[in-house]
Structure 1
Amino acid sequence: MSTALEYLVTAFDGTDEGALDRRLAVRDAHLAGAQRLAERGELLSGGAILDDEGRMIGSSMHVVFADQAAFDAWYAAEPYITGDVWRDITVRPMRIFRPAL
């Protein structure tokens, strides 16, 4: 994937009373999708952003896609987006450092 596009997705959940319920309602679908991305080599890392008390309040993902259309297709179908979990989303292009091992 030498011409692949790499992104850092930082997304914070809503802060309303139903935010955690929305997250939990689609969490299994989100994790299953993340697993598929990882198996295809498109998810390089990801995880929940925690508040000071250890509660999930958002997510961070390092992803790589062959082209913009592939990213857009994932983004449009991501359960945390379609399920109204993520409300403050930042997508930044990046170049991920991969050290030689």
Structure 2
Amino acid sequence: MPLFAIVAYDKTDDEAPARRRAARTAHFKRMTNAVKRKLIHFAGSMIADDGTMKCSIVICDFPERAQLDQWISEEPYVMNGAWDRIEVAPLFSAVENGEITQSWLKLMEAHISNS
């Protein structure tokens, strides 16, 4: 399955942290289920200098983009308005588990031979 990167930026209005807190339990339950199904490889938050959540980052593995888009649309942080802008893109993995991937080595080999 292809890897995708999700970067979901939090809204910055005064009520945004409360909306995030209100949806947190449902979000964690949903993410735990996705981890058990091997859909999520990494998830975390970028923290702003003032200690607030800036955005969420998820590396996931969905069979196709339409399924991922549906999954995002049902995300509690989307449904309650905690997230503002969401970027999604296919991800090429160069390093996994502390090891350079074979795909990256093949890409570099092709690049070097074409130079």
Q: Name the TM tier (shorter chain).
A: 0.7 to 0.9
If each structure's helix is expressed as a fraction of its own residues, which one has the higher value? Answer: 2
* Whole-angstrom distance in 2 between the partners of 1:5 and 1:80: 24
TM-score (norm 2): 0.77
- Indicate yes or no: 2:31 matched with 1:31: no
SS in 2 for 1:53: coil
Q: Which amino acid aligns with 1:10?
A: V
TM-score (norm 1): 0.87
Runs of 4+ in 1 over 3 A off after TM superposition: none
Aligned twin of 1:63: 60
Listed as ranges, the gaps of 5+ residues in structure 1 are: none
SS in 2 for 1:62: strand
Residue of structure 2 aligned with 1:81, choices 78, 96, 108: 78
* Whole-angstrom distance in 2 between the partners of 1:91 and 1:72: 9
1:39-77 deviation line (CA, Å, top 9, x unaligned) = 011000011211112221220100111122321221111
Seq. identity, %? 29
* Whole-angstrom distance in 1 between the partners of 2:70 and 2:2: 14
Q: Decide which structure has the larger Cα Rg and report it.
A: 2
Q: How many residues are treated as equivalent by the alignment?
A: 97
* Whole-angstrom distance in 2 between the partners of 1:59 and 1:38: 16
**Cα RMSD for the two superposed structures:** 1.5
Aligned twin of 2:110: none
Higher relative contact order (CA 8 A, sep 6+): 1
